Structure 1
Amino acid sequence: MRGILNKIWPGVAVAFVAALVLLSVPAAAKDSMKQLLTDADDGKFDISEYLARGGFIPVPIIITEPALGQGLGVAATFLDYSGLPDGEDPTISVLGVAATGNGSKGALAFRSGSFRQGRFKYAAALGGGSVNMTFYPTGNRGFTFNNRAKVAYLEGRMQIGKSAFYLGPSITLANTKIRPDFGSSFPIPPALTQDIQMNALGILTSYDSLDNPLTPRNGLNFNAHLRRYDDVIGSDANFDTLSVFGAGFRSPNPDWTFGGMVLGNATSGSTPFFMEPSIAIRGVPLNRYQGDRVLSSEVEIRRQLNPRWSVLGFAGYGRATANGSSSISKNNEVFTGGLGVRYRIAKRFGLDMGLDVAVGPEDTIVYIQLGHAWGRNLK
C-alpha cells in the first residue's frame, strides 16, 4: 500500500476534499455551489467563499506511519473566518477519528481561537484511544505495548502590552493504562498493567509575527512550554517536561520562500518511558528515537510555480540523547529529506493543501498537509 501511496498525485487530495465539501453544502443554499467553491478571478477550485461563511474541510487521514501501520480516518476541520475582526486568528475546530492496521484507534476534539482583537488566545482538546506502540530502550530492539489513554487539555494566553509576546497557563489531565502486548493468545497478568494518572500545571509563552497563521511566508514564531506533573495535583508520577520551538520564514520575492525550525524537548524526574520525547521530523516514525534530551530541526525551500501550485524540498536533522536517569540507554541521530507539492485551496486566506514524501533512515512516509507542516507547533 505504501508503494502505491508514494505515487499518488497531489491533485487527488484536492479532488477528494472538493467532493466532500460539495456533499457538506446544504441543498437549500441560496448561492450556487459554483460561487461557493470557485474563485471568481481564475475559475479554479477554491473554498475561500465557503470558509468566509463558516464552512469546514473534511480532511482525509491516510496514515502511513510505520509505528502504527497503515490506517484511515477523517478529520472534520472547521475554519471560521466569518466576521473576523482585525487582529484575531480564525477559530479552528477539529473533530477526528482514525484507526490503523496494528489495532490502534482514537478520537479527538480540538478548538482554538482568539478574542478581544487577538489579545487573548485559547486552545482546548479532549481525546482518547488505544494505541499499540513499540518502545526502543536500546535504540535497536524494542518491545510492543498498548496505551489506553484519556486526555483533557486547556491553555490560555494573554498579550503582553502591545507586543507580539503572549503568556499564560495550561492544565493537562490524563489517565493512561499501559500493558505489554505479547499477542492475543497470551494472557496478560494484572501485575504487568500500569494504571497511571498524570496531571500537570504549566506555563506557556509565545512570540508570533507570522503574516499568516496557516501557511506563513514571512515572520517568526517562538514558544516555550514548561509543565510540572506532581502528586499535589493528583498525579501518580512526579516529573517535568519542557518544550521549546522556534520557526522563521522569509520570502525575498513572490516566487521563493525559505523556512527553518528547531524543536527542543527535555524531561526530568521520574518520567514514564512512554512520556519521553522523540525526534519529530518528516521521515521519522513516531516515537522511534526517544530520549530525555531531544533536538528536531528542519529547513525548507519552496518555489511558487503559479498562483495556485507550488513545490518544496526539505531536509531534517534530529538527535535524541539519554542519560542515567532515563529509561533509554542509547543516543541516536538521524537525517531525513523529501519533496512536497501544494495547491492554494483558499486564495483569500493563503491556505494551502498538498502532499509530502519524506525519506528517513528506515522508511519512506507520505503526509497529507493542510496548512504548513510545522503548523501543529505554531502558537
Structure 2
Amino acid sequence: MKKTLSLVLSSFSLISTPSFAFSFTDPIDGMFDMGEYLAENAYGFLPVPIVITEPAVGFGGGMFGVFLHESEEEKEQRKSKALSSVDGGAQLIPPAVTVFGGAATENGTWFAALGHRRTWNQDSIRYMGGIGYGNALVDIGTRFNGVLLPDKIETDTEGFGGIQHLQFRLDNTDLFLGFSQTFFRSEITVNTGSSRIDRILSDVFGDSSTTSGLGISLEYDTTNSFFFPTDGIVIETEYMWYRDGFGSDYDYDTLAFSVTKFQPLSSKFTLVGSASLDSLAQRDESQILPPLARPYIDMRGIAAYAYQDDITSVLQAQLIWHVDPRWSTLAFGGVGSVAEKASDLYSQNEWAYGIGFRYQIARRYGLHLGMDFAFSDDENAFYFNLGSGF
C-alpha cells in the first residue's frame, strides 16, 4: 500500500510548483487526499502511473493523467458534501472526465490515447469518446474459416482509431438508449510459423485494413457511484454492424451482453458479481476477419486475446472489505470460456483469481486507486486500477 502512495507522490514532479499551494490533507480524517487539488486547480489532474504486466505484451509502463472538469457551482456543492459526509460528493452526478497518456512494453508494444466523458441535463445525456494510436504485438489463439489453429499466432498491428458512444435517458428512468460508432485503420502482419498460411493471410489482409461500424445499445444503471460503486446494478447490451457502407473492409455483426451487480452485505463488505457474453452474431463466411475482431476472455490474470472464438463468456465474483473509509481490500475470481457454438461453452474452462487493494485518493469524488495481483494456470500478473476493477 505504501508503494502505491509513493508512486503517486513521486509523479507530482509532473505538476507545476504553484499547485502545491493547495492542501493534500483531508480536513475530516487528516489523510492524504487529492480532492482539493483536483477541484481548485484549473490544471489539476490525478497522475496515474501505469505498470503493465499484461502477459500478452510483456512488462512495461507509462503515465495517464485524469482531469476532472466542473463548474463553480458543482465545485461548491461537492465541497459542501465533502465537509459534511464521509462519502464526500461521490453520490453526486460525476464530473466530466478527460484522460490522456500513453505507455510502452518490452516487446515493442506502445500506445497513446485521449478519452473524454461528460453528461448534460442532470445526467439525462451521456457521451463517451476516445482516440488512439499505437502498435500492438500480441500472440493470439484464434480460428480461421472454422479451423482452430494448434498454436498461437504472432500478430503485429499498427494503426489508429476511435470510438464514440452517446446515450439518452428514457423518461426519467434508469434506462439509457445509446448509439455507438467505431473506426480503426491498421496494418497487420502475422506469423503463424507456416510460410504458406502467412502468405494466405497476407493476401487476405493486404497492406492495411479498416473496420468501421455503427451500433445501438440499451443500458440499465442504478449504481450509486460512477467511479467506485458499492450498490446497484448495471445491465448492458449492444449490437454493432460493420459494413462497407460505413467504410469497413469486413462485413460482420457483434452482440455483447453483460450484467454486474454490486450488493452491500454490510457496512464493511460488498459482493460484486458479473456475467458477460460476447459473440459474432453474423458474418460473411467468404471473408477472414482480422485477428483482433473476435471476442476474447477479458479477465484479470489471463492474457488478452489468448483465448478467442466466435462466442466468449466470462463469470466473475469479487468480495470487497472496506477496512475504513480510505482503505479497501478485495478478493476476486472467475472463469471464462470460448467456443464456436453456444452449446459448447464451458466444455473447456479458463480460471483466474487474485487479491488487491484500493486507497480512496480523492474522497470528494469517490476516486479509488490501487493494485490487483492475479493468477491463472498459465500467467501471473499485477495491475494498477482506478476503480473497482469491473
Return the TM-score normalized by structure 2: 0.84
- Which structure 2 residues correspond to residues 224-239 of structure 1 after superposition, within 5 A? 224-239=237-252
Cα distance per residue 1:3-30 (max 9 Å; x no partner):
xxxxxxx321222212324641x4335x
Q: Among residues 283, 304, 319, which one is paired with 1:269 in the alignment? A: 283
Q: Among residues 325, 349, 354, which one is paired with 2:365 in the alignment? A: 349
The match for 1:12 is: 3
The match for 2:106 is: 101
The match for 1:7 is: none
Gaps of 5+ in 2: 78-90, 143-147
Cα distance per residue 1:257-300 (max 9 Å; x no partner):
11111121011304433210101111110101111110112101
Q: Among residues 177, 191, 197, which one is paired with 2:210 in the alignment? A: 197
* Cα distance in structure 2, aligned partners of 1:132 and 1:338: 26
Task: Report deviation, 1:140.
Answer: 5.3
The match for 1:144 is: 154
Contact 1:38-1:45 at 8 Å conserved across structures: yes
The match for 1:78 is: 67
- Which structure 2 residues correspond to residues 300-311 of structure 1 after superposition, within 5 A? 300-311=318-329
Code of the residue aligned with 1:257 in structure 2: it is T
Q: Does 1:175 align with 2:185?
A: yes
The match for 1:316 is: 334
Q: Among residues 135, 144, 152, which one is paired with 1:130 in the alignment? A: 135
Task: Report deviation, 1:364.
Answer: 0.9
* Cα distance in structure 2, aligned partners of 1:259 and 1:168: 25
The match for 1:4 is: none
Q: SS in structure 1 opposite 2:369? A: strand
Contact 2:311-2:338 at 8 Å conserved across structures: yes
Code of the residue aligned with 1:48 in structure 2: it is G
Contact 2:11-2:49 at 8 Å conserved across structures: no
Alpha carbons of structure 1 residues 140 and 57: separation in structure 2 relative to 1, 3 Å: farther
Cα distance per residue 1:301-343 (max 9 Å; x no partner):
111222221211111111111259xxxxx97421111111111
* Cα distance in structure 1, aligned partners of 2:150 and 2:32: 47
- Which structure 2 residues correspond to residues 82-93 of structure 1 after superposition, within 5 A? 82-83=71-72, 84=74, 88-93=93-98
Return the TM-score normalized by structure 1: 0.87
* Cα distance in structure 2, aligned partners of 1:182 and 1:298: 32
Q: Among residues 347, 370, 378, which one is paired with 2:386 in the alignment? A: 370
The match for 2:271 is: 258
Q: SS in structure 2 opposite 1:348? A: coil
Alpha carbons of structure 1 residues 82 and 339: separation in structure 2 relative to 1, 3 Å: farther
Task: Report deviation, 1:350.
Answer: 2.1
Task: Report deviation, 1:52.
Answer: 2.4
* Cα distance in structure 2, aligned partners of 1:132 and 1:103: 7
The match for 1:333 is: 349
Q: Does 1:281 align with 2:281?
A: no
- Which structure 2 residues correspond to residues 244-255 of structure 1 after superposition, within 5 A? 244-255=257-268
Cα distance per residue 1:216-250 (max 9 Å; x no partner):
11011111111100112221100001111211111
Alpha carbons of structure 1 residues 211 and 285: separation in structure 2 relative to 1, 3 Å: same
The match for 1:28 is: 18
* Cα distance in structure 2, aligned partners of 1:157 and 1:117: 13
RMSD: 2.5
Contact 1:281-1:297 at 8 Å conserved across structures: no
Q: Among residues 52, 56, 70, which one is paired with 1:67 in the alignment? A: 56
Code of the residue aligned with 2:329 in structure 1: it is V
Contact 1:180-1:192 at 8 Å conserved across structures: no
Q: SS in structure 1 opposite 2:10? A: helix
Q: Among residues 194, 205, 224, which one is paired with 1:211 in the alignment? A: 224
Contact 1:289-1:332 at 8 Å conserved across structures: no
Percent identity over the alignment?
A: 28
Code of the residue aligned with 1:269 in structure 2: it is R
Code of the residue aligned with 2:18 in structure 1: it is A
The match for 2:317 is: 299
The match for 2:84 is: none
Equivalent residues, number: 354
* Cα distance in structure 2, aligned partners of 1:87 and 1:302: 22
* Cα distance in structure 1, aligned partners of 2:293 and 2:160: 14
Code of the residue aligned with 1:215 in structure 2: it is F
Q: SS in structure 2 opposite 1:16? A: helix
Alpha carbons of structure 1 residues 87 and 159: separation in structure 2 relative to 1, 3 Å: farther
Task: Report deviation, 1:42.
Answer: 2.0
Q: SS in structure 1 opposite 2:265? A: strand
Code of the residue aligned with 1:42 in structure 2: it is D
* Cα distance in structure 1, aligned partners of 2:360 and 2:182: 35
Contact 1:198-1:235 at 8 Å conserved across structures: yes
The match for 1:360 is: 376
- Which structure 2 residues correspond to residues 31-46 of structure 1 after superposition, within 5 A? 32-33=21-22, 35=23, 37-46=24-33
Q: SS in structure 2 opposite 1:152? A: strand
